[in-house]
Structure 1
Amino acid sequence: MNLPASIAGAPFLADPAFQRVIAAVEQDGDRARVVGGAVRNTLIGVPVDDVDIATTAPPETVAARVTAAGLKAVPTGIAHGTITVVSSGRPFEVTTLRADLETDGRHAVVAFTRDWVGDARRRDFTMNAIYADADGGLHDPVGGIADALAGHVRFIGDPVERIEEDYLRILRFFRFHAGYGRGALDAVGLDASVRLQDGIDRLSRERIGAEMRKLVTAAGAVVALTVMDETSILARILPGGGAVGRFSRVVGLAERCERTLGLEARLAALAVERQRLAEALRLSGRENKLIEAIARWAEEIAARMDETTVRFAVVREGNEVAFAALILAAVHRGEEPTMDLIRLAWDFKPPRSPVTAARLMVEGYVPGPLLGAELRRREAAWIAAGCPVDPFGGD
């Protein structure tokens, strides 16, 4: 197999904002190379979101050079060698080559080096340790190019050593397979992840939640979550484990409907003990509110499976919640929703409700419980009637 030696022509390499950062950093014999996701994604034809840069220059030197070049330097992780450089309004993380002096399974004490191979060997997976010069020339010290092209998520060196440096790498192993892997999970990496899973209990819920958000929304989430469930790893993360079978059916049904489910819908499908989900993954208030709304309306729709209930969900919560609730309800009932219900949940844009407090007060109602009850009654009748457009155009 002939492996590519360059990613010349990659759009991000021609970006003037990127080129200004490289020009500022590469002075007095120091080198700067792109590393990680931008290189990996370019090789496999996946869009590039962030461009991370590794350099031989110490972080204080990076900050001084980019500032002198008129760019903004933000010391986002200076203790670990990272300066975020803002060029033309876009952030680029520039990190000095590192070697680990101490690790405790969560954090590392590092020393800065000029050793590119040593920097590569301390990273997690081979596909994340491919470097590219500013002209696109590739440097592959740990065999990452072949693994990236093959969809093989493989730890660098001994998986046990890599995991014991940071137990979050267990979750990253499953998350990267869900996003970039093909076929079965790497057997050696899986064995190490299963044997060392106790280390997950040492991680903060914030770090766990960040990884799980990315995992459940990845294209291969079902495969990764199934293995996590079978090996008891998922039970360490989610209260009660995960309803992976339901998750798989919900995702599959949405795909057959040619629609995409968001994070909250996927978590609502996966959660066994929904009431404890927010704490387990440190969900935001908005995320938790959406999950609760999806679950509540799924119960309502499952009880009736009719247009009126779906329309109620759209009016009260919006199309995203209504569609997710419809899919969950259909899976619960073991039936496919009709195309009319799918289109209603996804596409219906209700007009402004003609039922207002001001109109009821003109009729003689006064603010209070009776007015509120009448508002709810009339709005329900309006929704049941199909949300007709107000012939009087509002208040």
Structure 2
Amino acid sequence: MAASGATDKTIDAAWLKGGALPRLLAALDTNGEEARAVGGAVRNALLAEPVHEIDVATTAMPDEVTRRVTAAGFKAVPTGIAHGTVTVVIDGAPYEVTTLRKDVETFGRHATVEFGRDWEGDAHRRDFTINALSVTRDGKVHDYTGGLADLGDRRIRFIGEAKARIEEDYLRILRFFRFHATYGAGEPDAEGVAACIAARAGLAQLSRERVRTEMMKLLAARRAVPALQVMAEIGLLLDVIGGVPNVVHAARMAELEQALALPADPVRRLAALAVVVAEDAERLWQRLRLANKEYERLAGMAEGWRRISPDLSGQAQRVLIYRLGPELFADQALLGFARAQAQANDAAWQALATLPQRWSAPAFPLKAADFIKRGVAQGPALGAALRAAESAWLAADFPSDAAAVGRIADQAAKS
């Protein structure tokens, strides 16, 4: 077994002390076998970032993992036995437990691996130094790749030769920029950037679904804009989105979200970056295999961002919320705001963009029965009367009193 890589760094995290994880580690970390929490949970704990999932690595073979966790009363699910992974379900929460591995032959995502007991070798299989840290159940951190120093510097660095790591999986090009946008600071690692430039043709080999997942995560990251700027400068964004990116507008969208205390929205940021007309939304839908809901939002923003502005009357703004719904209204308003020659603190634009937070459109108060009892026959005439009444109700700015609504119904029934 390789050197321990133990450091004087420790983690004092609640998930190491209580809950399901200590019970899982206790079952695996005994009788000649060792188990540790690895990867993102360790990284995020050291950065005081939220920990959403915890992965475990172990020297035990998959069948031994299954035997031990089953004996402990946990559920073992063979989700990736060929790659050494067993998903262990404890109290309804899943934990991926993977046997230590080493590469025998690498060719993209389909590398041939062998199981082993070498913690250092397993760490060197990972992508970035900050993702190769592990922690024992007593909180001791192990670092074989310089990840602790890189965490301190907020630097995203490939393990070993950047070119070799990328050739193992070209998605690591996008992951490099996504992790820099999420955890990095300053300029991205120069060797990493150079390797991404040299290997960018490999992006064409990736499934559109994998590219979409990485891009959406990148767009939502706290430092998405600087990362997008570098990607645009070196030509990567053009390859990904299939069109000329506008990072200035994406930066404006991020600025507006901050000014209005809105959460980062990757779909709005993608629209600001790459959608001007409906054809842009269609291209991104196909190129990134977007979800239908994501495409519909992009198409809706492309259709209406030019027409919406604070110059609209209050009544016209409310009619748009009624017609579009609050989400699409806010999408169009924010995209229009991002492309307007206005400061982020412009009161009129801010009021427009946040109107759905302060006003909700009421339901149209008239039904078909209201016109039938006024003598309107079922069929085209009834539909025409409903449409005429709705238009009159909107023009009157959504009256709710019975008398006003009745007059609108009477007039529409006669027309």
Letter in 2 for 1:181: G
Residue 285 of structure 1 aligns with which residue?
A: 292
Residue 205 of structure 1 aligns with which residue?
A: 208
Report the Cα offset of residue 35 of structure 1: 0.9
CA distance in 2, matches of 1:366, 1:292: 38
Report the Cα offset of residue 257 of structure 1: 2.0
Letter in 2 for 1:259: L
CA 1:65–1:375: 2 relative to 1, 3 Å:
farther
Give the 5 Å matches for 1:243-262: 243-262=246-265
CA 1:304–1:34: 2 relative to 1, 3 Å:
same
CA distance in 2, matches of 1:284, 1:110: 34
Query: Secondary structure of the residue that 1:94 maps to in structure 2?
Result: strand
Residue 64 of structure 1 aligns with which residue?
A: 67
Query: Secondary structure of the residue that 1:170 maps to in structure 2?
Result: helix
Query: Secondary structure of the residue that 1:156 maps to in structure 2?
Result: coil
| Greater Cα offset, 87-96 or 303-312 | 303-312
Residue 7 of structure 1 aligns with which residue?
A: 11
Report the Cα offset of residue 385 of structure 1: 4.3
Give the 5 Å matches for 1:114-263: 114-263=117-266
Query: Secondary structure of the residue that 1:294 maps to in structure 2?
Result: helix
Answer yes or no: is the 8 Å Cα contact 1:71–1:85 preserved in 2.
Answer: yes
Q: Deviations over 1:247-283 (max 9, x none)?
A: 1112212222222242322222222422111111111
TM-score between both structures, scaled by the size of structure 2:
0.87
Report the Cα offset of residue 200 of structure 1: 0.7
Q: Which is higher, the Rg of structure 1 or of structure 2?
A: 2
CA distance in 2, matches of 1:306, 1:261: 29
Report the Cα offset of residue 137 of structure 1: 1.0
Answer yes or no: is the 8 Å Cα contact 2:337–2:349 preserved in 1.
Answer: no
Q: Which runs of 5+ in 2 are unaligned?
A: 1-6, 406-415
Answer yes or no: is the 8 Å Cα contact 1:307–1:341 preserved in 2.
Answer: no
CA 1:391–1:233: 2 relative to 1, 3 Å:
same
Q: 2:371 aligns with which of 360, 370, 374?
A: 360
Q: Deviations over 1:315-354 (max 9, x none)?
A: 3444333222111112333234434323313332233331
Q: 2:101 aligns with which of 98, 103, 107?
A: 98
Matched, 1:295 2:306: no
Answer yes or no: is the 8 Å Cα contact 1:320–1:346 preserved in 2.
Answer: no
Report the Cα offset of residue 63 of structure 1: 2.1
CA distance in 2, matches of 1:259, 1:386: 28
Query: Secondary structure of the residue that 1:73 maps to in structure 2?
Result: strand
Report the Cα offset of residue 101 of structure 1: 1.9
CA 1:354–1:129: 2 relative to 1, 3 Å:
same
Give the 5 Å matches for 1:9-24: 10-24=13-27
Report the Cα offset of residue 45 of structure 1: 1.2
CA distance in 1, matches of 2:257, 2:402: 36
Residue 268 of structure 2 aligns with which residue?
A: 265
CA distance in 2, matches of 1:136, 1:62: 22
Q: 1:321 aligns with which of 312, 322, 328?
A: 328
CA distance in 1, matches of 2:325, 2:54: 35
CA 1:96–1:349: 2 relative to 1, 3 Å:
same
Residue 73 of structure 1 aligns with which residue?
A: 76
| Greater Cα offset, 365-374 or 151-160 | 365-374
Query: Secondary structure of the residue that 2:86 maps to in structure 1?
Result: strand
Report the Cα offset of residue 60 of structure 1: 2.2
CA 1:93–1:330: 2 relative to 1, 3 Å:
same
Answer yes or no: is the 8 Å Cα contact 2:103–2:125 preserved in 1.
Answer: yes
Answer yes or no: is the 8 Å Cα contact 2:306–2:336 preserved in 1.
Answer: yes
CA 1:60–1:375: 2 relative to 1, 3 Å:
farther
Answer yes or no: is the 8 Å Cα contact 1:179–1:219 preserved in 2.
Answer: yes
TM-score between both structures, scaled by the size of structure 1:
0.91
Matched, 1:342 2:349: no
Letter in 1 for 2:181: A
Answer yes or no: is the 8 Å Cα contact 2:309–2:352 preserved in 1.
Answer: no
CA distance in 2, matches of 1:94, 1:183: 35
Residue 283 of structure 2 aligns with which residue?
A: 276
CA distance in 2, matches of 1:366, 1:59: 73
Matched, 1:113 2:124: no
Answer yes or no: is the 8 Å Cα contact 2:310–2:352 preserved in 1.
Answer: no
Answer yes or no: is the 8 Å Cα contact 1:33–1:54 preserved in 2.
Answer: yes
Report the Cα offset of residue 170 of structure 1: 0.4
CA 1:29–1:200: 2 relative to 1, 3 Å:
same
Letter in 2 for 1:338: W
CA 1:116–1:278: 2 relative to 1, 3 Å:
same
Query: Secondary structure of the residue that 1:300 maps to in structure 2?
Result: coil
Report the Cα offset of residue 379 of structure 1: 3.4
CA distance in 2, matches of 1:373, 1:329: 34
Residue 33 of structure 1 aligns with which residue?
A: 36
Aligned residue pair count? 391
Query: Secondary structure of the residue that 1:248 maps to in structure 2?
Result: helix
Query: Secondary structure of the residue that 1:190 maps to in structure 2?
Result: helix
CA distance in 2, matches of 1:99, 1:62: 18
Report the Cα offset of residue 168 of structure 1: 0.6
| Greater Cα offset, 322-331 or 131-140 | 322-331
